[in-house]
Protein backbone atom coordinates (compact mmCIF):
# COMPACT_ATOMS: atom_id res chain seq x y z
CA UNK A 1 0.00 0.00 0.00
CA UNK A 2 1.51 3.32 -1.08
CA UNK A 3 1.38 6.64 0.75
CA UNK A 4 3.47 9.43 -0.72
CA UNK A 5 7.04 8.22 -1.19
CA UNK A 6 6.51 5.23 1.11
CA UNK A 7 5.13 1.75 0.61
CA UNK A 8 3.42 0.37 3.71
CA UNK A 9 2.92 -3.24 4.73
CA UNK A 10 2.22 -5.32 7.81
CA UNK A 11 4.12 -8.39 8.97
CA UNK A 12 3.35 -10.34 12.13
CA UNK A 13 0.72 -7.69 12.99
CA UNK A 14 3.31 -4.90 12.89
CA UNK A 15 3.49 -1.93 10.51
CA UNK A 16 6.53 -0.86 8.52
CA UNK A 17 7.26 1.23 5.42
CA UNK A 18 9.90 1.28 2.69
CA UNK A 19 10.91 4.56 1.06
CA UNK A 20 10.57 4.23 -2.73
CA UNK A 21 13.61 6.46 -3.35
CA UNK A 22 16.07 5.57 -0.59
CA UNK A 23 14.79 2.07 0.27
CA UNK A 24 14.98 3.09 3.94
CA UNK A 25 12.83 0.91 6.20
CA UNK A 26 10.83 2.54 8.99
CA UNK A 27 8.93 0.73 11.73
CA UNK A 28 5.83 2.04 13.50
CA UNK A 29 4.59 1.24 17.01
CA UNK A 30 3.29 2.91 20.15
CA UNK A 31 6.59 4.77 20.57
CA UNK A 32 6.13 6.39 17.16
CA UNK A 33 2.52 7.39 17.83
CA UNK A 34 0.33 4.39 17.05
CA UNK A 35 -2.50 3.87 19.52
CA UNK A 36 -2.43 0.08 19.83
CA UNK A 37 -0.56 -3.06 18.85
CA UNK A 38 -1.74 -6.16 16.92
CA UNK A 39 -2.59 -4.57 13.56
CA UNK A 40 -5.07 -6.54 11.45
CA UNK A 41 -5.51 -4.44 8.32
CA UNK A 42 -4.23 -1.37 6.50
CA UNK A 43 -5.97 0.31 3.56
CA UNK A 44 -5.12 3.36 1.45
CA UNK A 45 -7.68 6.01 0.61
CA UNK A 46 -6.52 7.29 -2.78
CA UNK A 47 -8.74 10.38 -2.82
CA UNK A 48 -7.39 11.75 0.46
CA UNK A 49 -4.03 9.96 0.35
CA UNK A 50 -4.43 8.62 3.87
CA UNK A 51 -3.77 5.22 5.41
CA UNK A 52 -6.32 3.51 7.66
CA UNK A 53 -4.89 1.18 10.31
CA UNK A 54 -7.20 -1.19 12.18
CA UNK A 55 -6.32 -3.09 15.34
CA UNK A 56 -7.67 -6.28 16.85
CA UNK A 57 -9.05 -4.43 19.89
CA UNK A 58 -11.13 -2.00 17.81
CA UNK A 59 -8.79 0.97 17.81
CA UNK A 60 -8.59 2.84 14.49
CA UNK A 61 -5.78 5.14 13.35
CA UNK A 62 -5.50 7.31 10.24
CA UNK A 63 -2.03 8.23 9.01
CA UNK A 64 -1.46 11.10 6.57
CA UNK A 65 1.46 11.89 4.26
CA UNK A 66 3.03 14.21 6.85
CA UNK A 67 3.18 11.39 9.37
CA UNK A 68 0.39 12.75 11.56
CA UNK A 69 -1.77 10.12 13.23
CA UNK A 70 -5.46 10.67 13.94
CA UNK A 71 -7.02 8.27 16.42
CA UNK A 72 -10.66 7.15 16.20
CA UNK A 73 -11.39 5.40 19.52
CA UNK A 74 -15.21 5.12 19.28
CA UNK A 75 -15.34 1.44 18.37
CA UNK A 76 -12.71 0.54 20.97
CA UNK A 77 -14.63 2.42 23.68
CA UNK A 78 -18.01 0.98 22.71
CA UNK A 79 -19.59 -0.69 25.75
CA UNK A 80 -21.01 -3.77 24.10
CA UNK A 81 -20.31 -7.48 24.16
CA UNK A 82 -19.33 -7.68 20.48
CA UNK A 83 -16.23 -8.43 18.47
CA UNK A 84 -14.49 -5.18 17.57
CA UNK A 85 -12.15 -6.79 15.05
CA UNK A 86 -12.40 -5.57 11.46
CA UNK A 87 -12.69 -8.38 8.91
CA UNK A 88 -12.28 -6.35 5.69
CA UNK A 89 -12.03 -2.75 4.43
CA UNK A 90 -13.39 -1.16 1.26
CA UNK A 91 -12.51 2.44 0.34
CA UNK A 92 -14.94 4.52 -1.70
CA UNK A 93 -14.59 8.28 -2.22
CA UNK A 94 -13.78 9.77 1.21
CA UNK A 95 -15.27 6.86 3.15
CA UNK A 96 -14.01 3.56 4.46
CA UNK A 97 -16.52 0.74 4.86
CA UNK A 98 -15.54 -1.77 7.53
CA UNK A 99 -16.81 -5.34 7.61
CA UNK A 100 -17.66 -6.21 11.21
CA UNK A 101 -19.00 -9.18 13.13
CA UNK A 102 -22.31 -7.37 13.60
CA UNK A 103 -22.69 -5.44 10.32
CA UNK A 104 -20.91 -2.54 8.61
CA UNK A 105 -19.28 0.62 9.91
CA UNK A 106 -19.01 3.66 7.61
CA UNK A 107 -15.97 5.74 8.47
CA UNK A 108 -15.45 9.34 7.31
CA UNK A 109 -11.76 9.46 6.38
CA UNK A 110 -11.82 13.24 6.00
CA UNK A 111 -13.33 14.03 9.40
CA UNK A 112 -11.72 10.99 11.09
CA UNK A 113 -14.94 9.81 12.65
CA UNK A 114 -17.49 7.01 12.48
CA UNK A 115 -20.39 8.23 10.37
CA UNK A 116 -22.88 5.34 10.59
CA UNK A 117 -23.39 1.72 11.53
CA UNK A 118 -25.45 -0.53 9.26
CA UNK A 119 -27.38 -3.55 10.53
CA UNK A 120 -28.24 -5.09 7.19
CA UNK A 121 -30.63 -7.93 7.92
CA UNK A 122 -34.31 -7.79 8.86
CA UNK A 123 -35.25 -6.52 12.29
CA UNK A 124 -31.72 -5.11 12.70
CA UNK A 125 -30.29 -8.57 13.24
CA UNK A 126 -26.52 -8.77 13.54
CA UNK A 127 -24.73 -10.22 10.50
CA UNK A 128 -21.14 -11.42 10.57
CA UNK A 129 -19.86 -9.56 7.51
CA UNK A 130 -16.64 -11.15 6.32
CA UNK A 131 -15.95 -9.20 3.12
CA UNK A 132 -17.13 -5.95 1.59
CA UNK A 133 -16.85 -4.43 -1.89
CA UNK A 134 -18.16 -1.67 -4.16
CA UNK A 135 -19.35 -2.29 -7.72
CA UNK A 136 -20.75 0.63 -9.70
CA UNK A 137 -23.25 2.46 -7.51
CA UNK A 138 -23.81 -0.48 -5.15
CA UNK A 139 -22.21 -1.85 -2.01
CA UNK A 140 -21.89 -5.59 -1.41
CA UNK A 141 -21.35 -7.40 1.88
CA UNK A 142 -20.72 -11.12 2.19
CA UNK A 143 -21.44 -13.32 5.17
CA UNK A 144 -20.67 -17.04 5.26
CA UNK A 145 -23.51 -18.00 2.91
CA UNK A 146 -25.26 -14.79 1.83
CA UNK A 147 -24.43 -11.79 -0.35
CA UNK A 148 -26.12 -8.55 0.73
CA UNK A 149 -26.35 -5.53 -1.59
CA UNK A 150 -27.76 -2.01 -1.62
CA UNK A 151 -27.48 1.18 -3.67
CA UNK A 152 -25.03 3.63 -2.13
CA UNK A 153 -27.47 6.54 -2.47
CA UNK A 154 -30.14 4.72 -0.44
CA UNK A 155 -30.58 5.02 3.31
CA UNK A 156 -28.23 2.19 4.24
CA UNK A 157 -29.17 2.44 7.91
CA UNK A 158 -32.61 1.07 6.95
CA UNK A 159 -32.29 -2.71 6.50
CA UNK A 160 -35.26 -2.64 4.08
CA UNK A 161 -32.95 -1.26 1.36
CA UNK A 162 -30.63 -4.26 1.58
CA UNK A 163 -31.22 -7.24 -0.71
CA UNK A 164 -30.02 -10.82 -0.25
CA UNK A 165 -28.61 -13.35 -2.71
CA UNK A 166 -27.31 -16.79 -1.84
CA UNK A 167 -23.63 -17.46 -2.35
CA UNK A 168 -22.52 -20.66 -4.12
CA UNK A 169 -22.75 -23.63 -1.78
CA UNK A 170 -19.50 -24.29 0.06
CA UNK A 171 -17.89 -24.63 3.45
CA UNK A 172 -15.55 -21.63 3.49
CA UNK A 173 -15.76 -18.13 2.02
CA UNK A 174 -12.16 -17.01 1.46
CA UNK A 175 -12.41 -13.68 -0.34
CA UNK A 176 -14.53 -11.21 -2.30
CA UNK A 177 -13.67 -8.36 -4.68
CA UNK A 178 -15.32 -6.61 -7.65
CA UNK A 179 -13.76 -7.08 -11.09
CA UNK A 180 -14.83 -6.52 -14.70
CA UNK A 181 -18.37 -5.56 -13.70
CA UNK A 182 -18.83 -8.63 -11.52
CA UNK A 183 -18.63 -9.63 -7.90
CA UNK A 184 -15.99 -12.33 -7.51
CA UNK A 185 -15.61 -14.70 -4.57
CA UNK A 186 -13.37 -17.58 -3.60
CA UNK A 187 -15.24 -20.44 -1.93
CA UNK A 188 -13.54 -23.71 -1.03
CA UNK A 189 -10.43 -22.68 -3.04
CA UNK A 190 -12.47 -22.05 -6.22
CA UNK A 191 -13.17 -18.77 -8.04
CA UNK A 192 -16.77 -17.73 -8.79
CA UNK A 193 -18.19 -14.58 -10.38
CA UNK A 194 -21.70 -13.16 -10.27
CA UNK A 195 -23.59 -11.17 -12.91
CA UNK A 196 -27.24 -10.20 -12.39
CA UNK A 197 -27.61 -12.75 -9.62
CA UNK A 198 -26.22 -15.67 -11.65
CA UNK A 199 -23.05 -17.39 -10.37
CA UNK A 200 -20.44 -18.79 -12.74
CA UNK A 201 -17.63 -21.10 -11.63
CA UNK A 202 -14.14 -20.56 -13.09
CA UNK A 203 -11.97 -23.66 -13.10
CA UNK A 204 -8.32 -22.65 -12.80
CA UNK A 205 -5.15 -24.70 -12.47
CA UNK A 206 -4.59 -23.43 -8.93
CA UNK A 207 -6.15 -23.94 -5.51
CA UNK A 208 -6.95 -20.40 -4.36
CA UNK A 209 -6.92 -19.09 -0.81
CA UNK A 210 -7.97 -15.44 -1.22
CA UNK A 211 -8.41 -12.36 -3.40
CA UNK A 212 -6.83 -8.92 -3.47
CA UNK A 213 -7.18 -5.99 -5.85
CA UNK A 214 -4.86 -3.12 -6.70
CA UNK A 215 -4.84 -0.65 -9.61
CA UNK A 216 -7.99 -2.36 -10.96
CA UNK A 217 -6.09 -5.64 -11.25
CA UNK A 218 -7.45 -8.72 -9.50
CA UNK A 219 -5.01 -11.12 -7.88
CA UNK A 220 -5.49 -14.41 -6.06
CA UNK A 221 -3.30 -15.99 -3.42
CA UNK A 222 -2.49 -19.65 -3.99
CA UNK A 223 -2.54 -22.44 -1.42
CA UNK A 224 0.84 -23.81 -0.35
CA UNK A 225 2.72 -21.30 -2.50
CA UNK A 226 4.23 -17.88 -1.97
CA UNK A 227 3.13 -15.29 -4.48
CA UNK A 228 0.10 -14.37 -6.51
CA UNK A 229 -1.65 -15.16 -9.75
CA UNK A 230 -3.25 -12.44 -11.87
CA UNK A 231 -6.85 -12.96 -12.94
CA UNK A 232 -7.37 -11.87 -16.55
CA UNK A 233 -10.52 -10.08 -17.84
CA UNK A 234 -11.62 -13.36 -19.45
CA UNK A 235 -11.07 -15.08 -16.07
CA UNK A 236 -8.09 -17.09 -17.13
CA UNK A 237 -4.97 -16.60 -14.99
CA UNK A 238 -1.22 -16.11 -15.16
CA UNK A 239 1.58 -15.97 -12.60
CA UNK A 240 2.01 -12.43 -11.30
pLDDT digits (tens, 9 = 90+) for 203-236: 998 999 999 998 889 999 998 776 789 999 999 9
pLDDT of residue 50: 96
| pLDDT > 90: percent of the chain | 82
pLDDT digits (tens, 9 = 90+) for 2-37: 788 899 999 988 999 999 999 999 999 999 999 999
pLDDT of residue 59: 96
d(CA 205, CA 223): 12
Mean pLDDT of 105-109: 98
Cα–Cα distances (Å) from 240 to 102, 217, 226, in that order, read: 35, 11, 11
- pLDDT tops 80 at residue 176: yes
Cα–Cα distances (Å) from 80 to 34, 53, 76, 124, in that order, read: 24, 22, 10, 16
Mean pLDDT of 28-49: 94
pLDDT of residue 220: 95
Amino acid sequence: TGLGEKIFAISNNALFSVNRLTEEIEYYNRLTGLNAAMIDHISHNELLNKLLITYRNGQLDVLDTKGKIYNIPDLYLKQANISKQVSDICMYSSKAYLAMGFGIIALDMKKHEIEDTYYIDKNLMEVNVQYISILGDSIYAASKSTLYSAHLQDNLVDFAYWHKTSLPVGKQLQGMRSFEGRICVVIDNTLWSCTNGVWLQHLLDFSLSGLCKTDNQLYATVNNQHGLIRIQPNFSCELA
